[in-house]
């Protein structure tokens, strides 16, 4: 019997995975049902084969000008001597976080944007954190953000991050299987209990440009 032709493109590979006899085991490893995994594979295949509209023009360094402009002039969270939360408003924060690792594991960093829900940006934070994986960096970004929020007396936190894995783990949808991530997950959950209302939501990467920029700038600025 002739062997089937191996896939030569990513859409063909996704089709091969969809037809795989090991789909149930793969779904279990991902914390999904077989049906959910099939739907995601089909969606990714459609995204890969659908022509995309041109994105916004970017400046040197591959960053949209509006992202750099948004960061310019914002104070650094670590330099603030008092809470940036506006007086006379409910103590609520909208926080965008990102973690980066060049090498996975490799040199890693975090980026955070703080703002008022439905209002202006307040401040930013970027920091190199040594050597880590992408997922560890994502968790470290969330932890640092919540530490600032608790210090400033926030009672409500709306957290946005582009790691679907971390967002779903924080929401209790995915189990935390990695031994490296479990302690970080537990610390985040403990910190989250400091707030009267805490919500973590996944957003597309293109919607998290400020936090991504801050994380990459922190990596670029690290010694050596």
| pTM for the full predicted model | 0.73
Percent of the chain whose pLDDT exceeds 70: 79
Q: Which CATH architecture has domain 65-221?
A: 2-Layer Sandwich (3.30)
Give per-residue pLDDT as tens, 164-174.
Answer: 999 999 999 99
What gap in Å lies between CA 54 and CA 122, rounded to an integer?
Answer: 31
Measured CA to CA in angstroms, residue 6 lies from 9, 13, 17, 44, 89 at distances of 9, 8, 12, 19, 60
What gap in Å lies between CA 143 and CA 157, rounded to an integer?
Answer: 13
Which residues are bridge partners to 159 per DSSP? 95, 200
Q: Where are the domains of the chain?
A: 10-49, 65-221
Average pLDDT over residues 128-150: 97
Give per-residue pLDDT as tens, 1-26.
Answer: 455 566 666 666 667 777 777 777 77
What gap in Å lies between CA 46 and CA 33, rounded to an integer?
Answer: 20
Report pLDDT for 224: 63
Report pLDDT for 49: 57
- Looking at every residue in the chain, the average pLDDT score rounds to 85
149, pLDDT greater than 60: yes
Q: Tell me how many degrees the CA angle 187-162-25 measures, rounded to the nearest 5.
A: 80
58, pLDDT greater than 70: no
Average pLDDT over residues 106-127: 95
3-class SS at 156? strand
Report pLDDT for 118: 87
């Amino acid at each position: 019997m002739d062997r089937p032709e191996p896939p030569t493109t990513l859409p063909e590979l996704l089709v091969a995975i969809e037809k795989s006899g090991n789909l149930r085991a793969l779904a279990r490893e991902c914390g999904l049902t077989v049906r959910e995994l099939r739907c995601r594979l089909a969606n990714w295949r459609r995204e890969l084969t659908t022509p995309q509209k041109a994105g916004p023009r970017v400046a040197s360094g591959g960053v949209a000008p509006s992202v750099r402009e948004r960061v310019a002039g914002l104070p650094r969270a670590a330099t603030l001597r008092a809470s940036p939360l506006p007086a006379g408003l409910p103590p609520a924060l909208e926080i965008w976080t990102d973690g980066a690792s060049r090498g996975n594991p490799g040199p890693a960093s975090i980026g955070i944007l703080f703002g008022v829900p439905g209002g202006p940006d307040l401040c930013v934070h970027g920091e190199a954190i040594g050597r880590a994986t992408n997922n560890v960096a994502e968790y470290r970004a969330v932890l640092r953000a919540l530490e600032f929020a608790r210090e400033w007396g926030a009672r409500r936190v709306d957290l946005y991050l582009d790691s679907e894995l971390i967002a779903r783990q924080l929401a209790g949808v995915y189990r935390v299987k990695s031994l490296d991530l479990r302690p970080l997950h537990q610390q985040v959950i403990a910190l989250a209990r400091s707030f009267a209302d805490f919500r973590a939501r996944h957003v597309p990467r293109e919607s998290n440009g400020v936090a991504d920029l801050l994380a990459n700038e922190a990596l670029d600025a690290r010694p050596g």
